Chains A and B, each alone.
Chain A
Amino acid sequence: MDTQWPRFEVFEQEHPAQPHRNAGAVHAPDAELALLNARDVFVRRPDCHSLWVAPARQILARTLEEIEAAEQLATPPPAEGTPAQLYQVFQKQSQRQAQTYVVHVGAVEARSAPEALDLARQRYEGRQVFVWWIVPEASIVRSTPGEAASLFAPARDKPYRQPSFYRVLTQMRAVKSGETGAAPGETEA
């Protein structure tokens, strides 16, 4: 039996002028806890302005290779009468930055995720895209501006310190190398 909780993809916006970027994923029993887990796992120290989470199983993800292979098969049209809905569009635009996966570029209205992908490829062409993500708007849970202070502000005035910051490490090294004599309670071998 698979006891793992569902996976949610996390999108983080560091500054209002920047797009949301995929930061990674968290497991959570539901969207609210996914948002809280995302806050704790990804925005403890760096600056954050807004967070989105979406269940991974709702996301249509296609690489360039997958799209090229699929073009040999026609996308089946959505069933007659299917209502259009909003999909958010994300792209992986570069192979260089290992930490940046997909970045938000806009939204399209479509009757299915594959149709949204087709539309997105027409609307957001112009540069090489390595991976497309199509995320149904209805599946996204967002942090609200009202809760931004309690979610993100406390991280801002906390210094981020590597363990080496703490002086006791060098002190311990000095103790070990015998520079300051034996540590209290230590006996000569």
Chain B
Amino acid sequence: MTAAPHPALAAYLLGLADDELILGHRNSEWCGHAPILEEDIAFANLAQDELGHASLWYRLLEGLTGERPDRLVFFREASAYRCVQMVELPKGDWAFSMLRQFLFDAAEAARLGRLAESRYAPAGETAIKIRTEEIYHYRHTQAWIKRLGLGTHESHQRVQAALDVLWPYALQLFAPGPGEAEMTAGGLVPAAEDLQAAWEAAVVAALHESGLTPPADRRPAATDRANHSPHLAPLLEEMQSVARLEGPAVGW
């Protein structure tokens, strides 16, 4: 264990890890159900990548707090999770899941690029590692959003409806957590408002290019990562059921 450069850093890393884990788990629900075989494989790959990224953040966190990733993932109650509500929402239709992944990938692209320069070197190294893969994710989801947005009347309507629902949830990704401003001042993590500005610039341009319009309201659906939607608990119950059956002694 090494001393954390700031007491709030562990909570920040936990948020990153939980977002990736829950989104990856949600997306894995498409496995065997995607509209075509090729995209089934691609989306399962994406889901697995997010779980891999979660694992990297959990291991970094373990270095600071000593908490084992397996315990955090499989033996923690919903109230102790720190993911944003966007990743908890049920998978919905294909447009909804693809758009959620797109909005998340764009946020990752903005965050990881800046986090790569963190004064906390281990976070910078992890960000660089993840960023390479996220470039591909963003390209993949952006290509799909464009085709859904400009495709048929139905595909356009579905992805626009998804955007109307997801937009306020996506804004929670940029709600600063406790101590975040101080960490930004110390060069540990990027400024939340910079991330949001970069994200909005990229996302709004891509959405317009796809014939889609984000809602004018800029209020996030939630701001405190300790509050969760009713969808998280059932998700965890299923995800944790096997591990809890076997008990904490089994390695995963």
Q: Which A residues have a C-beta under 8 Å from some C-beta of B?
A: 5, 26-29, 32-33, 36-37, 39-41, 44, 147, 149-151, 153-154, 158, 167-168, 171, 183-185
Contact = CB atoms under 8 A, between A and B. Distances in A.
B208 interface: no
B20 to A, nearest CB: 15
A150 B136 contact: yes
A47 to B, nearest CB: 15
Given A158-B52, A167-B251, A171-B246, A151 B136 contact: yes
A28 B42 CA distance: 12
Contacts of A37: 38-39, 41-42
28 contacts: A27-B36, A28-B38, A29-B147, A32-B143, A33-B144, A36-B42, A36-B140, A36-B143, A37-B41, A37-B42, A40-B38, A44-B41, A44-B45, A147-B139, A149-B135, A150-B133, A150-B135, A150-B136, A150-B139, A151-B136, A158-B52, A167-B250, A168-B250, A168-B252, A171-B250, A183-B245, A184-B246, A185-B245
A37 B38 CA distance: 6
B49 interface: yes
A36 B139 contact: yes
Given A33-B147, A147-B139, A168-B250, 18 more contacts: A26-B38, A27-B38, A29-B147, A32-B143, A36-B42, A37-B38, A37-B41, A39-B136, A40-B42, A40-B45, A44-B45, A150-B132, A153-B132, A158-B52, A171-B246, A171-B250, A183-B246, A185-B245
A149 B245 contact: no
B247 interface: yes
Contacts of B132: 149-150, 153-154
Chain B: number of interface residues, binned into ranges: 20 to 34
Contacts of B39: 37
A112 B194 CA distance: 55
Contacts of A171: 246, 250
Contacts of B144: 33
A185 B247 CA distance: 11
B213 to A, nearest CB: 24
Interface string B101-144: 00000000000000000000000000000001101100110011
A5 B39 CA distance: 12
Contacts of A154: 49, 132-133, 136
